[in-house]
Amino acid sequence: MIDRQLRRRGIQDEKVLSAMFEVPRHEFVPAVYREAAYDDCPIAIGEGQTISQPYIVAAMTEAARIEPGDKALEIGTGSGYQAAILAHLGARVITMERNPWLAATARERLVRLGYGGIQVIAEDGSGGYAAGAPYAAILVTAAAPKVPQVLFDQLDDGGRLVIPVGTLHQQVLELISKHGDKASVCDLDPCQFVPLIGKEGWPEGVR
Ligand code: SAM
């Protein structure tokens, strides 16, 4: 996974590569898919949701430029894998999941694997989590129709927002960096995420 999927596609940050090597991805997928845990694809985790493809996790993490002690918000906990990668890099992580079963399962898993410092919040995270702001990095791991201004507002000066933006079926991974009240936007990769459902995302029931 590290050499064929990540290095070969341009992931260069050794700290990110090392985190992806060390965090046991097979613990974050259902037992029936364990043998496929390191394959080059997303995997179903129940409730119609997925753990993202390894390359996408690495690309988002690299773009977020996490430094130890950074406060990071993830929206879309899913299995908890992305949150564990961020914590492994030394971030103080808050992660939000709208599906209560996924949130509870991820919370238990993260505690069991030694990532009990991650705060898992079971609610719509499309508007972020103002009580924890400002954040050095916000990663949205579900597809948004547009960049929610409220997420930009919750970034610290110098903060990075990594978010897939587009239609329900095709998005571009965007890196939005905050400089004072100004934003710089960089398109990273084409991607396909499940939808961000909620107040600042898509309405419930979209497909
Ligand atoms: N980052 C996850 C991981 O490492 O396993 C994968 C995330 S999965 C592609 C997207 C997740 O976003 C789903 O679990 C979905 O329930 C969640 N989601 C969708 N809309 C959300 C919202 N408004 N707030 C919080 N979570 C949301």
Q: Name the residue ranges covered by the structural domains of the chain.
A: 2-191
Q: Give the Å distances, CA to CA, from 21 to 1, 16, 26, 128, 148.
A: 8, 9, 12, 29, 32
pLDDT value at residue 207: 80
Spell out which residues line ligand 1, taking CB within 6 angstroms.
49-52, 75-76, 78-79, 81-82, 96-99, 102, 124-126, 141-142, 193-194, 196-198, 201
Contact between residue 148 and residue 142 where contact means Cβ atoms under 8 Å apart: no
pLDDT value at residue 87: 98
Tokens of residue 193, six digits: 């995420």
- Per the DSSP assignment, residues forming a β-bridge with 89 are none
Contact between residue 85 and residue 19 where contact means Cβ atoms under 8 Å apart: yes
- Report the predicted TM-score, pTM, of the whole model to 2 decimal places: 0.98
The tokens 């050794």 sit on which residue? 14
pLDDT value at residue 4: 96
Closest residue by Cα to residue 58 from 118, 10, 114 = 10
Closest residue by Cα to residue 103 from 133, 125, 126 = 125
* Mean pLDDT by groups of 10 residues along the chain of 207 residues: 97 98 98 97 96 98 98 98 98 98 98 98 98 98 98 98 97 97 96 97 92
Looking at residue 2, what DSSP letter applies?
A: I
Q: Which CATH superfamily is domain 2-191 in?
A: Vaccinia Virus protein VP39 (3.40.50.150)
- Per the DSSP assignment, residues forming a β-bridge with 167 are none
18 in catalytic set: no
